[in-house]
């Protein structure tokens, strides 16, 4: 069943007097539970597309429906509320709050959702244990390796019980072992909890794990491959 519909989406940035067509008429559907990689060289439009899927940017033209909601029309508190309850984000730079512990970073989203403290604490412990960090709850980001910080970021993304996780170059700063561990965790969550994962990446290791690879170049989809296994 299609849960994301991208209809003839265009994104134009006005850089001084030059118009940059970052996304140029992309149409796609993404089904529930997909584990999809959007790939392409730097400047291809893949990150812009991912940002529009998450409501971090808005299309210049076209429509993006996420779970039946036209996310491009949401603004202010409605957009924040939609993201808070539907979408989890994992960024290349982790985006953890440095003064908070791993536990507090994961709890932060649930505090915004006004989840009761006992439920927050139990879910935080469960998630950090799930990503292999059950013994590092009280560690701040500076005391964690890059791979560990990214796993905290994944746990935080899952805390709100999102239907979709958008991951922008999540393995770019990780070594091979950390990348393999992180992708195994994400794949397990995808299969067991049916969360839809969409990656923006140029990492061959992510492409190998993905069950669908969408190649973007010059703002257009030039290839869309689904794996049969």
Residue-wise pLDDT for 15-70, tens only, equals 667 888 899 999 999 999 999 999 998 889 999 999 999 999 999 999 999 999 99
What pLDDT was estimated at residue 161?
85
| Listed residue (114, 102, 6) closest to 54, CA to CA | 6
What pLDDT was estimated at residue 116?
93
Q: Indicate the pTM of the whole model.
A: 0.89
What pLDDT was estimated at residue 100?
95
What pLDDT was estimated at residue 92?
81
Full strand arrangement of the beta sheet holding 196-201: 87-91, 164-168, 196-201, 35-39, 212-217, 220-226
What pLDDT was estimated at residue 170?
87
What pLDDT was estimated at residue 179?
86
What pLDDT was estimated at residue 229?
61
Q: Which residues of the chain have pLDDT under 50?
A: none
What pLDDT was estimated at residue 176?
86
CA 183 remoteness from chain centre: 13
Contacts of 165 (CB under 8 A, 6+ apart): 87, 88, 89, 90, 154, 157, 158, 186, 195, 196, 197, 198
What pLDDT was estimated at residue 1?
63
User: Domain spanning 2-226 has what CATH number?
Assistant: 3.40.50.300
Beta bridge partners of 90: 167
What pLDDT was estimated at residue 60?
94
Give the C-alpha separation, 21 to 123, whole Å.
42
What pLDDT was estimated at residue 34?
95
What pLDDT was estimated at residue 160?
84
Q: Helices (H) and strands (E) in the chain — how many of each?
A: 7, 10
């Amino acid at each position: 069943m299609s849960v994301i519909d991208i209809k003839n989406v265009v994104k134009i940035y006005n850089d001084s007097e030059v118009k940059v067509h970052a996304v140029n008429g992309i149409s796609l559907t993404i089904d529930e539970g997909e584990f999809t990689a959007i790939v392409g060289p730097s400047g291809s439009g893949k990150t812009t597309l991912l940002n529009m899927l998450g409501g971090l940017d808005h299309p210049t033209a076209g429509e993006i429906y996420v779970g039946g909601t036209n996310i491009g029309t949401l603004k202010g508190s409605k957009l924040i509320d939609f993201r808070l309850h539907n979408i989890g984000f994992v960024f290349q730079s982790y985006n953890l709050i440095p003064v908070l512990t791993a536990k507090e970073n994961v709890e932060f989203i649930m505090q915004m959702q006004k989840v009761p403290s006992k439920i927050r604490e139990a879910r935080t412990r469960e998630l950090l244990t799930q990503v292999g960090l059950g013994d590092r709850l009280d560690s701040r980001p500076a005391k964690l390796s890059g791979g560990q910080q990214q796993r905290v970021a994944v746990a935080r993304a899952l805390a709100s019980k999102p239907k979709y996780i958008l991951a922008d170059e999540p393995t770019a700063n990780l070594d091979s072992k950390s990348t393999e561990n992180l992708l195994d965790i994400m794949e397990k969550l995808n299969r067991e909890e049916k969360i839809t994962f969409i990656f923006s990446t140029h990492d061959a290791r992510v492409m190998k794990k993905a069950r669908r690879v969408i190649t973007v170049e010059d703002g257009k989809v030039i290839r869309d491959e689904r794996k049969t296994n």
